[in-house]
Amino acid sequence: MAALPEALDLGFAKSGQAGYYEQVFSIASPLHSAPPAPRRLLPSGFSRLDASGGFARGQLVEISGAASSGKSTLAFGACLQALAQGSSAAWIDSSGTFWPLPALEANVSLERLLVLRMLDSAAVLRSVQLILSCPGAVTALVVDVSPRLAIKDAQLVRLQRLAERSGTVLIFLTERPAQLPTLGAPIALRLHVRRLPGARFSEQSRLRIDVLRHKGGANQQSFEESVHGPNRLRVSSTL
Amino acid sequence: MDRIACAFLPRFEPSRTQEVLLLLATLSPLLAHLDADGGGSFFLGLRGMAHVVSSEKSFLEQIHARLRERGFETRVAIADTAFVAWVVAQRAQGIVPPGTAAAKLLDAVTLDELQLSSPARSLLTKLGVKTAGAIARLPAGSLARRLGPEGVRLEKLCRGEALVAHPSTENLPPSIERVALDLDEPLSDLEPLLFLAKSLLDRLLPALARTRRALTELTIIARLDDHSLVDHMLTPESPTLEAAALMTLIRLWFERKPFGAAVASLELCASRTGVASARQLGLFLQREEKETAALEKVVARLGAAFGRERVVRAELGDTFLPEARLRWVPIQLANQSQRTHAAEALPILRKLPQPEQIRWRDGRLFRANAPGVQIIHVDGPLRFSGGWWSTPFNRSYFWLSLGDGALAWIFREEPSGPFFLEALAD
């Protein structure tokens, strides 16, 4: 894609997907009518989400939802897909609660899932920066955003550029209600998740996923996904 | 170019390697130029020897005489490169004048003398290459591309770029390289300290490079103005001689402000060393290897910035107690990545740092300072007991489906203890 004027480049232009400014330019100027480069995608492991493209590498994603809504499961799906491709993934656990026991009990190797237990807000951003500055190190990076972690737009723009350079899907997990805006303008995809009540733990539970923002895709979509209950814990299924 | 002496012992006994090395070490002021190939050849660099001996001939005779005194039959040769010296010493004793074209000499060296693997021998035979001289005349990189690290070694060897013929670093006498500097004025600011560390590193790394070792662990020892000592070990992602990569780790550690007072002296010590790998040479990296190398770099940087204990991976623990089934262990990356087979989503638990006491009353679950939530389904109890030899436990675990969609994992200390919230499925 041809370079956009610097003044209009807010970090979307290099994201490899048709963002707002690219759409504007493709209409306004024949000079920018070249087709965008094909996006490198990372599946999420959820069929309906993947049917709409999954996650684009280099993209910033926000997955929001209340406690126990299933947002971590959704993000972990992307990590598992990265591991299944022979790549690596990282999870920055700012709450000290990340506990992937069901995956271990299901004999999934998590040797290449790097977990950083960072309770300090500044350390979280610093570690994201350190990870993204090594291109190719991880394909999916999940950041647990605790309520005390404030991320400015300028920081997000910087992280977006680093994510793009390293080809990493950078996923922020927040507990923001759906009514609140996204973390910041550089977020290309925002999904809001909630678990539909009524499932027994031994059954599959249903997650409702609302697409609140999707640059270059359809917004305001909703779909449901199934997820195994925590019954995969060997301790509860065999003893 | 540094000249190299090779002493070849035809009746070599491996058990006496260290004895020969120590004997040769007394002849050279620079121990770093000493090595052995494990097959009876010993190498001694002549750098700096001009001030110690009158001529190469007298030095050759000196080596020969000292070895004979100890009962070693030997042939010594001196040449521009280790390989040429080795080739000559295999056949006779003598000095190859500086600047002599080695190609003709190497044409006499057959493939049998080069300690080749069978794939390498097979490839060279197919290419019609029969001597070391022919290898030296091949286009640069042609063997490296086909044979990997062995091709690199062969090319370097026959072109005279290798410091030692057929090196065997385990025969090196153990030595720890260290450099230190006492400061006139103690330093506390980051940038001057980094500048100091860089200058020390620039002295340390060439010393290692001369022995073809690369640094795998760097120990920094600082004596502070209040007479206390601070020491810290940094581990790069792979054996390295790159100052820039090490300076990144040093900077990250210094930024943690590890010194409680101004630094009065700084010492860098190559506390562990290893052989530079082919991967470090940046050759033949496949995608996964590249990603592993990048991940190792990330782990090293994060470890330097935040401490290794913060960078972990999850592993199954060998216990029945559910809350101890998962344990966090330091990251150890295998060269070959292990792919997962997971194609479907698996739930993630959010385990509370400490179990939170809750109440279960009238079909509702009450957390502290929160309204009760209706319990829709209860699965359990699953009873666990054990640990009588250390920490006994006797618990019942339940999974609760709550009215707001949450899935809660709770337990109760039996027989009638309070309920605790252990984790939520998220």
Average pLDDT of the residues in B37-43? 81
pLDDT above 50 (res B257): yes
Question: What tokens were used for A59?
Answer: 């993209």
- Mutation target for B interface from A63, A88, A99, A236: give the one with most B CBs within 10 A: A99
Question: pLDDT tens digit string along A22-36?
Answer: 333 333 333 333 444
Mean pLDDT of chain A: 77
| Residues B175, B131 contacting (CB under 8 angstroms) | no
| Residue B393: per-residue pLDDT | 80
| Residue B165: per-residue pLDDT | 58
Question: pLDDT tens digit string along B110-132?
Answer: 888 887 888 888 888 888 888 88
Which 3 state secondary structure label does DSSP give A112?
coil
The DSSP element (H or E) to which A215 belongs, if any, is none
| Residue B202: per-residue pLDDT | 79
| Per-residue confidence band for A18, with pLDDT thresholds at 50, 70 and 90 | very low
| Residue B163: per-residue pLDDT | 58
Average pLDDT of the residues in B11-33? 73
- Interface contact B320-A202, CB threshold 8 A: no
Q: Which residues of B touch A141 (CB under 8 A)?
A: none
| Per-residue confidence band for A63, with pLDDT thresholds at 50, 70 and 90 | very high
- Interface contact A101-B326, CB threshold 8 A: yes
Nearest CA to B423 among B364, B358, B372, B371?
A: B358
- Interface contact B426-A88, CB threshold 8 A: no
pLDDT above 80 (res B284): no
B254 touches chain A (CB under 8 A): no
Please report the beta strands in B188-278, taking only residues with DSSP state E, as ranges in sequence order: 213-224, 229-234, 263-275
ipTM given for this complex: 0.78
Nearest CA in chain B to A124: B306
| Per-residue confidence band for B176, with pLDDT thresholds at 50, 70 and 90 | low
Which residues have C-beta within 8 Å of that of residue A160, sequence separation ≥ 6? A11, A15, A58, A60, A170, A186
- Looking at CA atoms only, how far is residue B148 from chain A in angstroms? 23
CA distance between the termini of chain A: 58
pLDDT above 80 (res B153): no
| Residue A75: per-residue pLDDT | 95
- Percentage of chain A exceeding pLDDT 90: 41
Which candidate from B290, B305, B325 shows the least CB-CB separation from A126? B305
